[in-house]
């Protein structure tokens, strides 16, 4: 049984499900920031996934990356699996711009999340969902 980590659930709104991953949008208006969590129980390290799941996960990450890039016109996409705080395996896909708060540093541990206006996170999630065709 797949259960989404509580921190991930609290920090995001749901975008939708791709064949392997649940796609989420971080509730941080500073950065267009998606997260993919493969719907498999107990995953922690990328190297402990099956080869087929690794391939599927990274293909889904590439699709999300291309979609977010197109939606935002970002300068550079950042893709990362960290997991130091939340161990459940998840992939960050973040659209970066030269005028964003953290540039050129990574987004993690920089400043504090800025809340979206009422309904805006859901609207962004819907735009991404539509771009992904899911």
Can you give the binding site for a copy of itself, defined by CB under 8 A? 44-47, 49, 51, 54-55, 58-59, 61-63, 65-66, 69, 75-85, 87, 96, 103-106, 108-109
Q: Which is nearer to a copy of itself, 84 or 118 (CB)?
A: 84
Find the shortest distance in angstroms from Cβ 124 to a copy of itself.
19
Find the shortest distance in angstroms from Cβ 31 to a copy of itself.
12
**Per the omega criterion (within 30 degrees of 0), is the bond before 104 cis?**
yes
For tokens 């939340």, what's the residue? 86
Find the shortest distance in angstroms from Cβ 117 to a copy of itself.
27
Q: CA 102 to CA 109: how far, in whole Å?
A: 9
Cβ-Cβ contacts under 8 Å for 20 (sequence gap 6 or more): 38, 39, 40, 53, 56, 57, 60
């Amino acid at each position: 049984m797949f259960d989404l980590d509580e921190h991930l659930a609290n920090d995001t709104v749901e975008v939708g499900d791709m064949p392997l991953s649940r796609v989420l949008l971080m509730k941080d208006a500073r950065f267009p920031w998606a997260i993919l969590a493969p719907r498999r129980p107990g995953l922690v390290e990328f190297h402990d996934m099956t080869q087929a799941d690794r391939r599927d996960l990274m293909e889904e990450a590439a699709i999300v990356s291309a979609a977010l890039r197109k939606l935002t016109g970002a300068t550079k996409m950042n893709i990362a699996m960290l997991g130091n705080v939340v161990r459940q395996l998840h992939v960050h896909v973040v659209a970066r711009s030269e005028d964003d708060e953290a540039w050129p540093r990574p987004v993690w541990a920089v400043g504090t999340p800025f809340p979206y206006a009422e309904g805006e996170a859901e609207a962004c999630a819907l735009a991404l969902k539509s771009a992904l065709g899911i």
